[in-house]
Chains A and B, each alone.
Chain A
Amino acid sequence: MSLLDVRELRTSFRTDDGVVKAVDGVSFSVEKGQTLGIVGESGCGKSVTCLTIMGLNNRRNTITSGEALFNGEDLLTMSSRRLREIRGNDVAMIFQDPMTSLNPVHKIGRQLVEAILLHRDVSKKVAQARALELLKAVGIPRADRRIDDYPHQFSGGMRQRVMIAMALVNDPDLLIADEPTTALDVTTQAQILTLMSRLQQEFGSAIIIITHDLGVVAEVAHEVVVMYAAQIVERGTADSIFSRPHHPYTWGLLGSLPRLDADVERLVQIPGQPPSLLNPPRGCRFHPRCPYVMDICRADHPDLLPVTADPEHLQRCHLDEETKDREAEKLLAGTLAQAQAQVRTG
């Protein structure tokens, strides 16, 4: 049994303009000790998927269906009391912006201790020792003094470390990180990613990492889900997604990265904008922006089907395998040269 098994998850929001289907039939699973990367443009439903799993959507205007089985228990239907027990204890979340997710008027030590006392029956002293231990584990220098600092006294990278420490207070089995490095510089990003993979090895947690940076996903993820307009368009192991992507949208994402082998005059660009989820396009949701669009794409919504060569690799596209092989080859010839050039330099 997987640690987390998400089946046909659907989340809709009632708004003044109508019902927005923010997540529309998403299924994936995460095994213990593994990292799942979710990529896609803003507004494609990556974050809402995770907020739904954590039960953090506003109940008043949200309609949810499907299942999210965590160790066999459905997170979507359980009582809010049981959910509170699990949240912050077995499942923890790291948010994108550490400045707005830490309480600015409390010392970080107090915020860490609060999270421990909520879930553990321990004395304040023990909790404080545990908080200090965690701050040291995430590599905050002079942790014994900094535990009494306020969030504004920390730099962006240090705040993100505090967020990670807070997520780890109760040794969670599953860690959900929503764009954990987007607000950071590349050197700090390297520090945080190294830290996360070290902690994963130490604690054996599973990680879901949401990002729009394909480089970061390639670095840390074992499995990758590519989302577009509230649905999964491609899913597979990181190696297979990056070595043989099957969906034109994934090609577009890979091609729009500036390359380090230089001298490409123009980047491949995905024309247009992501569609409105109020009224998604008929047929394949990517067809208005797809350079390979055929008649069938406008009429018929493709299913998420396994690739013939690799049953673990799922994709949602009508294009025949032959054309795909040819196009993906063309794209990868460039990116591979890029990556090799980069390894040479690293």
Chain B
Amino acid sequence: MATQVTTTNGTAAGEDLLVVEDLEKHFPVTRGIVFQKQVGAVRAVDGVSFRVREGETLGVVGESGCGKSTMARCIMRLIDPTGGRVVFRGRDITNLSRADMRPIRRELMMIFQDPYASLNSRKRVGFIVAEALEVHKLGTDAEIKRRVQELLEVVGLNPEHYNRFPHEFSGGQRQRIGVARALAVNPKLIVCDEPVSALDVSVQAQILNLLKDLQKEFGLTYIFIAHDLNVVRHISDRVAVMYLGKIKEYAPRNQLYDAPKHPYTGALLSAVPIPNPELGRLRKPIVLEGDVPSPLNPPAACNFHPRCPRFQPGHCDVEPPPLYPFGDGQFAACHYPLERWPLNEDEMRNPAQAAAVSGATQTTP
């Protein structure tokens, strides 16, 4: 994790493809028209660290406004971070100039959320997919055309639709075009920002299967951003849970879903509806009160404390919790982590009681 990251120039630690250290993006809030004065900052991303290994999928979940997309844009250098480092294949790309960045852009691609807004409606599909190839001058016109038709076939579209416009396609097909565009220059890492949340469930399954197949075929690495916990579980190897610009929990998939440590992760998991009425009636979700606070003025110390069922006054609102390790690569930023899972509501609210119960039950099975 962040604390052990020691990357020296040129060599990435182990097989890490991407290392993000203390990434920060603060948007200034100014007042005044002629003499602008900064009166505050929206802390959209506030000290995020993680690493992504080659060939794996890192899932990022969180509610809207938690900074997932801003983080993705910082990694892509679509916006410049205000602090921290992004190290891609051993090279610090945080402060590279546009010209130095260009060859690296070939290896970093992005798939966007809205398949209606992310394709230029005045350009033909062939042009949209070929644009990156042309920018990077990868081949003659004939070669590019062949490559584009090949790509359309790979993502399950008819290569003869080369000359159609985006509006002639359905939402799922458009998202396939977005995938083909991202694949065109043989990238190493694809950042997928909510690629299926605008799609129907049956189409969503098609795109998820496609992304998984392509990963196997081309050895791709994904950062997969979504708010749907089921989708993230399906596609990810490791998962980071974000809340108000900070990572709250970071763990291999099975640990996170079977034994969450952070109360926020627990609340998120318990809120997912179950497609089975009988079992659904047995379940008692932990309903969080209120909304995500404004990142303009985030709560002190642990920023989850105003909504946390385990809030302990005098501790959680005074001392910010670091990412405590829980073994097997699981980390959670909480002073009172969940002792076990599932917890009933009383245990959720009362850490000491749950500890006693878990001590008693842990010996039995």
Contact = CB atoms under 8 A, between A and B. Distances in A.
B208 A343 contact: no
Contacts of B204: 256
A187 B273 CA distance: 10
B288 A187 contact: yes
B41 interface: no
Interface string A61-95: 00000000000000000000000000000000000
Contact of B342 (A213, A242, A255, A345): A345
B227 interface: yes
A340 interface: yes
A186 B271 contact: yes
A157 interface: yes
A303 interface: no
A342 B272 contact: yes
B276 A268 contact: no
A7 interface: no
Contacts of A266: 209, 212
A256 B276 CA distance: 15
B291 interface: yes
Contacts of B278: 239, 242-243
B202 A252 contact: yes
Given A187-B267, A342-B279, A270 B202 contact: yes
B33 interface: no
B231 A258 contact: yes
A259 B234 contact: yes
Nearest to B234: A258
Interface string A184-225: 011111110110000000000000000011111111010000
B230 A260 contact: yes
B201 A186 contact: no
Interface residues of B, number: 53
Nearest to B259: A345
A132 interface: no
Contact of B270 (A194, A212, A214, A345): A345
B233 A260 contact: yes
B276 A242 contact: yes
Contact of A339 (B205, B235, B279, B342): B279
B280 A257 contact: no
Contacts of B280: 218-219, 339
B170 interface: yes
Given A157-B291, A270-B202, A257 B275 contact: yes
B271 to A, nearest CB: 4
A41 interface: yes
Interface string B28-67: 0000000000000000000000000000000000011000
Contacts of B253: 262
A26 B11 CA distance: 65
A336 interface: yes
B279 to A, nearest CB: 4
Interface string A242-263: 1100000000111111111010
B104 to A, nearest CB: 32
B275 A267 contact: no
B201 A273 contact: no
A238 B205 contact: no
Given A238-B277, A262-B233, A267-B209, A253 B201 contact: yes
Interface in A271-306: 271, 273
Nearest to A158: B291
B282 interface: yes
B257 interface: yes
A18 interface: no
B218 interface: no
Contacts of B258: 345
Interface in A151-165: 155-158
Interface of B: 63-64, 170-173, 200-206, 208-209, 212, 227-231, 233-235, 253-254, 257-258, 267-280, 282-285, 287-288, 290-292, 341-342
16 contacts: A186-B272, A187-B63, A187-B267, A187-B288, A190-B285, A194-B285, A213-B201, A214-B201, A239-B278, A259-B234, A270-B205, A342-B272, A342-B274, A345-B269, A346-B270, A346-B274
